[in-house]
Structure 1
C-alpha cells in the first residue's frame, strides 16, 4: 500500500497512519492553571526534546474539530507556565482518565483523583507521584495550521527539573526505575520493561 498525500485523503485516515507508525511516543502529562484558577492536566503524545542548549521541550496540539484550542493551550497562552509530568506505569489509569472531555471549569486533578504537589518555580501544580517533572515557561507557539486536526507546536523553556532520588543511579535517570510508558496507535500503550543495550559505534 502507498498513500499519495498530494491527493485527497480523509483526516482520520491520515491520523491513524501517522500515529500507528510513529511509535512509541513519550507522553507529556501537562498541568496548567486557567485564568480562573482551575488546575488542568491533560496528556499529549506528540512530545519530544527540541533543544538542550537552551533546554526546550516541544509539544504539539492537534486542533480539535469543535474549537481551536484545548484547555492546555488556552491556559498556557494566558499564564505562560506549565509542568510536564512524566507518566510511569502506576499513573496510567489516572492519565487516561484525565483525557476525558471535561469542561474547562472542571479540574482533572479532582475528577481523576490525582494527588498534587506545589511546583518550585511555576504556579501550576505538579503530579506528586510523577518521578520526573519539568517545570516550564512558554517560549513560543508555532501555528502550522488553524484547521481542524491542524497542528500547533508549543515550545517550552525548561526552568526546573524535579527527579525523584529513587530513579537516580550515579546521577542519571534509570529507565528501569522510572518505568515510563509510551503511546502507540489507537488505544494501545507500551511499557519500557523489555529493554536492550547497544553501544554507540566509534570510527
Structure 2
C-alpha cells in the first residue's frame, strides 16, 4: 500500500502516523489555570527540541469540539508547566487523566494523583513521577487550527527533578526509570527490556 498525499489530501492518516512512529515518549503535562485549577494531561507528540538551551517540544493535536485543550489554555495564561515522565506504575492514573473532564475539574483530584510543589514554576508536579521538568513557555507554533491540526508548544526547561533511586553514577538508568511509550491504538510499551548498541568508531 502507498498513500499518495500529494494527490489525495483527504486520507485519514492519523492511524498511519501514530502506528508507524512508535513508540513515542509521553509528556504528562501539569498546568495551573488562572482560576487556580490544577490540570494534568498526557501528550505523546513529545521530544527534546534543543539541549543548549534546553527546550522540550510538546504538540497539541487539535480536538474536534474546541480550539485548544486545557493544557495550552493554561500555558498561555500562566506561561509555565511541569512535564512529568510516566513510569509504568503510573500508567493507570495517567490514562484516567486523559478523560474529557470539564475545564473546571482538576484531573489531579479526579484521578487521585498526588501533587507536589515546584521550585521555579507555579504549576504543581505529579509527586510520584521519578523525573519532572519544570518549564516556562517559549513559543507556540501553529501548524493548523483545523481539527486534527497541530500546535507545537516549545518549553524552556528551568529545572529538573530526578529521583535519586533512578540514578546510577550520576546518570538516569532507563531500567530504573521504566518509562512507558505510546504506540498505535490502545497499545503502550515499557522499557523493562533493553539492549546495548555502541556507536561505531571511524
Shorter chain as denominator, the TM-score bin is over 0.9
Provide the aligned length of Structure 1 versus Structure 2. Answer: 202
Distance 1:81 1:161 in 2: 14
Distance 2:7 2:16 in 1: 15
Unaligned runs of 5+ in 1: none
Match of 2:170? 171
1:7 deviation in Å? 2.9
* Per-residue CA distance 1:50-84 (angstroms, 9 max, x = gap): 00000000000000011110000000000000000
- Local SS of the residue matching 2:108: helix
Distance 2:177 2:47 in 1: 17
* Residues 91-170 of structure 1: pairs in structure 2 closer than 5 A: 91-170=90-169
Match of 2:8? 8
* Per-residue CA distance 1:108-164 (angstroms, 9 max, x = gap): 000000011111110010000000000000000000001111000000000000000
Q: CA RMSD in A?
A: 0.8
- What TM-score does the superposition give when structure 1 sets the normalisation length? 0.98
Distance 1:5 1:100 in 2: 32
1:193 deviation in Å? 1.0
- What TM-score does the superposition give when structure 2 sets the normalisation length? 0.98
Match of 1:45? 44
